[in-house]
């Protein structure tokens, strides 16, 4: 397939995405008809977490009576910027988005501010000195998630003289990749026998996790632990470990982040050893914040999602209730 064809197909997909869940493109709610229109620029569909997050946003918008214009950026910043610009042109009442990477947003966010379209960050943060470019940020504390992963490993490594860790990082430049690495590194300082011997991005996807783990297994004769920044990469790593004739969870321990159903199943089956939860069900809180922002009410600058952790035993108990 030619590059030109792929580029045309990609932009058609983006336009289709932009209108897929939208109502009347001329609707500018909060206004005349009293309805609110939200433009939402999603990262993509890279993981089970993301699928659950998208579903939560679409369902919550419906329940809240908010017209949702939804776009899928296929993990590309330029697609998210195009989508945001299009929402500004369409004069939506509020824009919400989960930035694929942390930097490079100031120009488009300034355009939104000048056009008086308020912006809410959800799931991931931007790295900007100008906090007036968005109204609030709703999402997890990713540094804390990394710390919880590291603290579990510190306890599990007591009495061991050497623990070699390989790290499967999320998308390069994305807030959860940067912060989960930082939190984990901070926590393992308490146990000098733990060493991160290799660290590479698997882009938050199952195939990425599998591919990187295959390479890690070839070049590192002694791997004790995999720390994967999400369940999907951990599940890919499990495939690679099994293909190499080793037992995940026993020969090589795994720590992951998210706690989506497939991850929890692998934890209950003994193939993952510990999962730090990252809650994707942000829809209801996002819609509440959006209504307040559009009505000019005060909102807190930061809303942190509540989360827990799961051991293998806890996963067995939780699995029947898991919604995603």
Please report how close the Cβ of residue 173 comes to ligand AHR at its closest, in angstroms. Answer: 12
**Sign of the torsion angle spanned by Cα atoms 45, 51, 56, 59:** positive
Say how far apart CA 201 and CA 117 lie, in whole Å.
Answer: 34
Cα–Cα distance, 127 to 178 (Å, whole number): 11
Pairwise CA distance, residues 66 & 64, whole Å: 5
Nearer to ligand AHR, 39 or 170 (CB): 170
CB 255 within 8 A of CB 227: yes
Q: Tokens 């992951």 belong to which residue? A: 256
> By the criterion CB under 6 A, which residues form the site for ligand AHR?
46-47, 49-50, 123-124, 176, 204, 230, 257-258, 278
Residue 123 CB, shortest distance to ligand AHR, in Å, is: 5
By beta-carbon proximity to ligand AHR, the closer residue of 30 and 263 is 263
Q: How far is the CB of 276 from ligand AHR (least distance, A)?
A: 10
CB-wise, 36 or 57, nearer to ligand AHR? 57
Q: Which is nearer to ligand AHR, 97 or 117 (CB)?
A: 97
Nearer to ligand AHR, 17 or 176 (CB): 176
| Cβ distance to ligand AHR smaller for residue 47 or 169 | 47
CA distances 295 to 33, 93, 134, Å, are: 14, 10, 15
Instruction: Give least dist CB 4 to ligand AHR, A.
Output: 29
* Least distance (Å) between residue 278 CB and ligand AHR: 5
**Strand 274-277 to strand 309-310: parallel, antiparallel, or no bridges (unpaired)?**
antiparallel
Taking the chain, what is the end-to-end CA distance rounded to the nearest angstrom?
36
Q: Where are the alpha helices (DSSP H) in 90-169?
A: 106-114, 142-156
Q: How far is the CB of 219 from ligand AHR (least distance, A)?
A: 26
The CB-of-98 to ligand AHR minimum distance in angstroms stands at 7
> Are 46 and 205 a contacting pair, CB within 8 Å?
yes
Query: Encoding tokens for residue 231?
Result: 């369940």
Please state the φ and ψ torsions of residue 143, each to the nearest 5 degrees: -65, -45
Nearer to ligand AHR, 79 or 230 (CB): 230
Which stretches does DSSP call E strand in the chain? 36-42, 66-72, 94-97, 119-122, 136-139, 163-169, 194-201, 225-228, 253-258, 274-277, 302-304, 309-310
């Amino acid at each position: 397939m030619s590059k030109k064809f792929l580029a045309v197909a990609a932009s058609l997909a983006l336009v289709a995405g932009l209108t897929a869940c939208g109502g009347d493109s001329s609707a500018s709610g909060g206004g005349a008809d009293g309805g609110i229109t939200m433009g939402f620029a999603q990262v993509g569909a890279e993981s089970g977490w993301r699928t659950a997050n998208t579903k939560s946003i679409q369902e919550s918008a419906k329940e809240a009576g908010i017209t949702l214009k939804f776009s899928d950026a296929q993990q590309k910043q330029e697609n998210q910027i195009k989508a945001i610009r299009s929402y500004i042109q369409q004069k939506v009442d509020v824009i919400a988005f989960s930035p694929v990477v942390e930097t490079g947003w100031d120009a488009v966010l300034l355009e939104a501010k000048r056009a008086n379209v308020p912006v809410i960050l959800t799931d991931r943060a931007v790295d900007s000195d100008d906090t007036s470019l968005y109204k609030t940020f709703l999402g997890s504390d990713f540094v804390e998630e990394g710390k919880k992963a590291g603290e579990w490993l510190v306890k599990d490594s007591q009495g061991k003289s050497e623990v070699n860790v390989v790290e499967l990082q999320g998308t390069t430049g994305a807030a959860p990749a940067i912060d989960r690495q930082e939190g984990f590194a901070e926590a393992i300082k308490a146990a000098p026998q733990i060493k991160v011997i290799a660290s590479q991005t698997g882009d938050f996807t199952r195939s990425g996790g599998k591919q990187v783990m295959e390479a890690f297994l070839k070049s590192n004769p002694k791997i004790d632990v995999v720390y994967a920044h999400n369940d999907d990469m951990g599940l890919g790593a499990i495939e690679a470990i099994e293909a190499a004739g080793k037992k995940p969870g026993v020969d090589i321990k795994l720590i992951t982040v998210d706690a989506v159903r497939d991850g929890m199943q692998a934890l209950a089956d003994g193939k993952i050893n510990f999962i730090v939860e990252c809650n994707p069900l942000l829809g209801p809180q996002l819609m509440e914040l959006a209504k307040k922002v559009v009505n000019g009410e005060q909102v807190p600058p930061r809303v942190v999602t509540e989360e827990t952790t799961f051991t293998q035993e806890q996963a067995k108990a939780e699995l029947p209730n898991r919604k995603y």
